[in-house]
Amino acid sequence: MVIPRVLIVAGSDSGGGAGIQADIKTVTMLGGHAMTAITAITAQNTLGVQAVHSVPADMVVAQMRSVIADIGVDAVKIGMIGSAAVAHAVADVLDALAVPVVFDPVMVATSGSVLADAETIAAFARLMRGATIVTPNLPELDVLGGEHAVRAHGAALLVKGGHADGDVVRDRLVAADGAQTVWTHPRIVTRHSHGTGCTLASGIATGLAGGMALAAACDRAIAFVAAALGKAPGLGGGHGPMGHALGRTPYYDLSAATDPDGGDAAAVAAKWS
């Protein structure tokens, strides 16, 4: 079996809604194999980030090189980077790795907690130069200097519209050659939207790892985010996680599908409940 191999370079979210945890769930649900290089450990829940412990740059690099040397990598997703030193160390590794790179320039958590200082944000320039696509939300795009400044680095740009006003969300992909693709969809009103950016970027990376064209990878990832938002389980008292499993127990569905007697998911669930 050939399975898309996605290396995720990002921070850990102890609450499971965003970061490495959301990335792994997304890559798995979309048919890929997720590998990780953790850049930071956060004490985090739906109410906010209570503590952050950065992982030293040499350890981040060691994680990356370990999986690259043995398992191999078809695409890389970069999320929370932790520090300027880590940004440059990651860029050094990626310079020798000829695979698609999706860079989600994480600066602020959904709860409003700051996850990148000014020095780290300045170092994002080097990561953008090596990226296939950069996926900022509107506030992040402003901090990075706007659309022209991001595109000057040579990567494609997905301008995410979730932070704009209105009942319709507009996401716009600007390819490296300037060609544009626009998605519009009704806004899903929910406070359980923690991890949307992580999920979207990892979804795109999984598509690229599997050989999908950029616009197609974005299309599928956007659809997955919308589906996961609609199936959020309602956990926590603040910005809760999305429903990456889409309200299902995938094991039950798979067991039913392989049952020689033609079982169904409800019957499998009843057996184990």
Task: State whether residue 72 is helix, strand or coil.
Answer: coil
Q: Is 102 exposed, middle or buried (0-12, 13-18, 19+ CB in 10 A)?
A: buried
CA-wise closest residue to 160 among 142, 185, 182, 135: 135
Let me know: does 25 contact 17? Beta carbons within 8 Å: no
Kindly report, residue by residue over 129-158, the tens digit of the pLDDT.
999 999 999 888 988 999 999 999 999 999
Q: Is 120 exposed, middle or buried (0-12, 13-18, 19+ CB in 10 A)?
A: buried
**Whole-angstrom distance, CA of residue 223 vs CA of residue 200:** 9
Nearest 5°: the CA angle 193, 8, 78 is 75
- How large is the C-alpha radius of gyration of the chain? 18
Residue 265: pLDDT over 90: no
Residue 23 tokens, joined: 């990335």
pTM for this predicted structure: 0.93
Lowest-pLDDT range of 20-29, 230-239, 255-264: 255-264
Classify strands 168-174 and 180-186 as parallel, antiparallel or unpaired.
Answer: antiparallel
DSSP 234: -
CA-wise closest residue to 267 among 243, 244, 242, 249: 249
**According to the model, what pLDDT value does residue 112 have?**
61
Q: Is 48 exposed, middle or buried (0-12, 13-18, 19+ CB in 10 A)?
A: middle
Q: Provide the H-helix boundaries in the chain.
A: 19-29, 57-70, 84-94, 118-130, 138-143, 147-151, 196-209, 214-230, 250-257, 265-272
Residue 270: pLDDT over 70: yes
Quickly tell me which residue has 């953008």 as its tokens. 128
Residue 175: pLDDT over 90: yes
Lowest-pLDDT range of 29-38, 39-48, 100-109: 100-109
Give me the sign of the Cα torsion angle 140, 137, 16, 210. negative
